[in-house]
Structure 1
Amino acid sequence: MYNVSPLLRADWITLIDRVAETLQHADAPVILTAVDPGEESDALHAFWRRDDVLLSQTCGYPLMHGLAPHVRLVGTPRFAVPGCYRETYSSAIVVRAKGCPATLAACRGARAACNSADSHSGMNALRHAVAPLARDGRFFGSVLHTGSHLGSLAAVANGEADVAAIDCVTLAFAAEHCPALVAGLRQIGSTREVAGLPFIASRRAGASLVTRLRVAMRQVLHDDAGLRSRLRLQDIVPSTVANYLPITAMAQEARMRGYGALR
């Protein structure tokens, strides 16, 4: 979910490879093969439901909207970036640095960019933040669906949109790996913190295997300080679906205010 550059992709693959090596030395070896499911939403949803997936990462919004019965939670990441606290994260509300509103309230009638209609960080969190400000179920002048957080950053930067909510981990990686993309932007707010994007395995994976997987991930991160630093990934902590209930609550709160869709 945080694959914003070739260098960063290589580090995520290294993590997978090292986890595979660790598991292969256990009493019951397991082989992990890196698979790229693509970025299209339908392809990702199909991939997450495969019964041979041992390690992937999803967004909390799909998890709480149909995916949970099909997967087991390996754990929740603890990232060391601004906007994260322990195993929670938030979205940064960003605009262009010049000539754009200074507050979310001042964005009424502006053009919003959103990575995906089923994203917590780009849609649900922003919808929740905007709900108290909406009038008759509307706040923005228009909403552009970009397909990714990098696409949303680009849309704001080049003037196609005026405001977007960006996963704070993605924003940190973008600032490091794609600095030109964020150079002309500024943050005007943050959304409510919720549990970070969970690592998952197929429901077919037994509880003991999932525990071994989490232990292996933590061991790899512990043993390689450089990899841990580059991924900004400090730990993987045990979690349950209950940790993600605040995501559902935020959606419900927005709907109760008459703001059921980002618009």
Structure 2
Amino acid sequence: MRYAANARMYSVNPQAAAAWKELFGWIARESGVDLEVVDHNFPLPLAELWARKDLACTFMCGYPFMLTGQRQRPVAAPIPANAPRKGQPVYATRLVVRAGSDFRSLEDTFGGRLGYTVPDSHSGYNALRHHLLPYYRDRKARLYGDSVGPLTTPRRVIDALLADTIDVGPLDGYALDLMLRHDENLRSQIRIIASTDPAPAPLLVAAADCPDEAVAKLQSALARVASAPECASLRDRLCLDGFAQVGASAYELMLQWEEEARSAGYAEPG
């Protein structure tokens, strides 16, 4: 059987997209699992991709992974080279502003315009809300004059910043690393003013009924990415140290963060 592979979440530019395609090709050869890199680009909903019955190696955000009714199978999660906990499959959200703005702290942006991606995103919504929750509790009022979204993708968050339609926005830290790796000009256009607590990174998933044998073969191949000499260039181009096996229990943290916010009456970041 042919299985679907997709890295839309981290195909943040043509260079990264090409590198992911190469890596999936290597994984297919190493594992013996027939992978087809499928296109599912914005504005197609990610939920439609994640509902496919032929998934075997497709990136999925951990938050909707925990919210879905029929849960996909965890395969592995990336270990970003710049992970907030070195050597672990975790990431954080970077809160960014325009480089030329006067904002020097997150508190400086309060009262302004906050961007977000989509409500079922961890990095662009759930982690953002968790980071803002202590400020909301302290002030007992909304923090921003306007919440702008859904912006959907990290690139569109940056575009909104540069177009001056938002003052601050959330970026998946690993996605930002990939953007900066392949676009040096971006470093002079945006500035990080805060980072959220680390959380488990988005994971590669397979469909719920994907055979155990296929999942095991993929996990074995993914474990070799970290040390395979032929993957050295790919690791560099993908800002990647390797992959680690993960279980669903690691992502319960995201539901805890959601419950904390909702219990405090802070359902929507803003």
Shift of 1:51: 1.3
The AA in structure 1 aligned to 2:134 is: P
Q: Give the % identical residues.
A: 29
Which residue number in structure 2 is paired with residue 54 of structure 1? Answer: 56
Q: Is the 8 A contact 1:61 1:120 kept in 2?
A: yes
CA distance in 2, matches of 1:179, 1:142: 31
| 1:258 has 2:261 as partner | no
- Map 1:1-263 to 2 at 5 A: 1-24=9-32, 30-40=33-43, 42=45, 44-66=46-68, 69-81=70-82, 83=84, 85=86, 86-134=88-136, 135-136=139-140, 138-145=142-149, 146-223=151-228, 224-263=231-270
Spell out, residue by residue over 1:27-77, the C-alpha distance to the aligned partner (whole angstroms, 9 max, x if none): xxx3111101222363x212212111111001111111116x331000121
Q: Is the 8 A contact 1:49 1:70 kept in 2?
A: no
CA distance in 2, matches of 1:184, 1:6: 20
Gaps of 5+ in 1: 25-29
Shift of 1:178: 2.6
Shift of 1:155: 1.2
CA distance in 2, matches of 1:13, 1:47: 17
Q: Is the 8 A contact 1:92 1:187 kept in 2?
A: yes
The AA in structure 2 aligned to 1:103 is: S
CA distance in 2, matches of 1:195, 1:217: 17
C-alpha change, 1:249 and 1:100, in structure 2 (3 Å) is farther
Q: Is the 8 A contact 1:143 1:262 kept in 2?
A: yes
Q: Is the 8 A contact 1:114 1:122 kept in 2?
A: yes
CA distance in 2, matches of 1:215, 1:205: 16
CA distance in 1, matches of 2:83, 2:199: 14
Shift of 1:220: 4.2
The AA in structure 1 aligned to 2:227 is: H
CA distance in 2, matches of 1:137, 1:20: 51
CA distance in 2, matches of 1:39, 1:61: 19
Shift of 1:144: 1.7
CA distance in 2, matches of 1:89, 1:120: 11
Q: Is the 8 A contact 1:62 1:119 kept in 2?
A: yes
C-alpha change, 1:84 and 1:155, in structure 2 (3 Å) is farther
Q: Provide TM-score, normalisation by structure 2.
A: 0.88
C-alpha change, 1:165 and 1:84, in structure 2 (3 Å) is farther
CA RMSD in angstroms comes to: 1.8
Shift of 1:201: 0.5
Q: Provide TM-score, normalisation by structure 1.
A: 0.90
**Secondary structure of 1:199's aligned partner:** strand
